Amino acid sequence: MPILLRRLRPAALIFGLFLFSALPLITGDDFAGAHPLASSTPQPAFCGGAYWGDTSSGSNEIDLYPCRPTWPETGPEQRYLLQTTLTQPLTLTLSHAAGSDLDLFLLENGDLATCHAADATLSLAALPPGDHTIIVDGFNGSQGPYLLQVDCREAPLATATPTPTPLPTATPLPTATPTPAPPPTRTPTPARLTFFSYLPQQHQGFPPPTPQPRTLVLQPGSAGYEGVRDSSIDAWAISENYANLDRLLLRQPDIMAPILHFDLSPLPAQAHIVEAKLGLWTLSQSNPNPADVGLYALNRPWDSAAVTWLYAQPQVFWAVPGANGLPADRSAAPTSQQPVDTIARWYEWDLSLLAQEWLQHPASNHGLLLKAFSPARVQYAFASAQYHNPAARPRLTLRYWTPSPTP
């Protein structure tokens, strides 16, 4: 019975260490025998690749790893196969949605006894050649979407250089010794020996590389795109709607908050999002204080022409005024955080995982809310979708790739 030491309170940790010291030592062989790898074919991975996935669709094959015996990895996992032909540094980066707890494992040549583990970033100075297994697993039953990035030096497509086999050396024939009688007979000339050398040709197959990511910028007035709805909600004017205002208002601490929604229909449905960033252009600030601005996912529909501090839609209240109902109105944790401290420049917030989730489940896209909770009082204004200069309007920059069609 494994003792789980991760994330325990101090008293529980001391008690766990006491019990753990009384247990027999667990070796890599114990894990390898008790937890065989899944029989299903892993997904191919390669240097420079980025992979969007979801452990919810995986299976739970491994609960414990010898390199982290106190981590209960009881959630479902997703597996990848990374084939390398030379020794090289490797960095694996795992990003996942707020609220889930996913971990990263690398098994050298698929062997559990030689595993490496990390929460978010796994770096090796010298990964040897081989067929290595990458696993994204869920701590304590956790599961959800993630983005896995693989960074190493080897080109995505490579063929190992064959090692020539040396030709065998011919053994010379013995020289015939003449005898006095009878007269020596002519020794026939030996036939010329022909030696055949079969040089092994090693053809290492690699999966096709991920296509070069494309960039799509969704901004009102650019390339015919008009898919942004925005407004602001204001605790000082609880019934005021700002849908027609040319600016988005943010005041700290949680007095005014911009609210936006982007239509993602121009993005291909099969796209794999590598990066998604919301950009806002600052127009003004009330004083030199900075604002620590968090980006939150909204969890309910709202009407841009009617939204206020009290109402999400006509006759429909927010669960808590200011869209502060958790999780009825919005996510509890910000998708990303960005300090804002000056004007006349772009500020960006990352929402890569959230955008991929919206693309896969369009009905879940209820837009975004920006809030600042720090005590220092300050107000900022950002250009809205109604701003007179289209180049300064809110933008969503997406980097993505689409799978190549199967021949």
How many other CB atoms sit within 10 Å of the CB of residue 161?
Answer: 8
* Measured CA distances, 369 to 262, 293, 323, 349 (Å): 12, 10, 9, 11
- Please report the pLDDT score of residue 208 as a whole number: 60
Residue 401 and residue 214 in contact, taking contact as beta carbons nearer than 8 Å:
yes
Q: Which two tokens stand for residue 57?
A: 């669709």
- Please report the pLDDT score of residue 190 as a whole number: 52
- Please report the pLDDT score of residue 71 as a whole number: 93
How would DSSP label each residue in 187-221? Answer: PPPPPPP-------------PPPPPPPEEEEE-TT
Domain positions in the chain are 43-152, 214-401
- Please report the pLDDT score of residue 106 as a whole number: 96
- Please report the pLDDT score of residue 39 as a whole number: 52
- Please report the pLDDT score of residue 151 as a whole number: 86
Residue 299 and residue 328 in contact, taking contact as beta carbons nearer than 8 Å:
yes
Architecture category of domain 43-152 in CATH:
Sandwich (2.60)
- Strands 247-252, 121-127: pairing is unpaired
Element containing residue 369 per DSSP (H, E): strand 368-372
Q: Which amino acid is at 193?
A: L
Q: pLDDT tens for the chain, 407 residues: list them.
A: 333 334 443 443 434 434 334 434 444 444 433 344 545 689 888 887 888 788 998 899 899 999 999 999 999 999 999 988 889 899 999 988 777 899 999 999 989 889 999 988 999 988 999 999 999 999 999 999 888 988 887 654 433 333 444 444 444 445 445 545 455 555 555 554 444 444 444 444 455 666 789 999 999 999 999 999 999 999 999 999 999 999 999 999 999 999 999 999 999 999 999 999 999 999 999 999 999 999 999 999 999 999 999 999 999 999 999 999 999 999 999 999 999 999 999 999 999 999 999 999 999 999 999 999 999 999 999 999 999 999 999 999 999 999 877 66
Residue 319 and residue 252 in contact, taking contact as beta carbons nearer than 8 Å:
no
- Please report the pLDDT score of residue 26 as a whole number: 41
Q: What is the DSSP letter of 164?
A: P
- Please report the pLDDT score of residue 244 as a whole number: 97
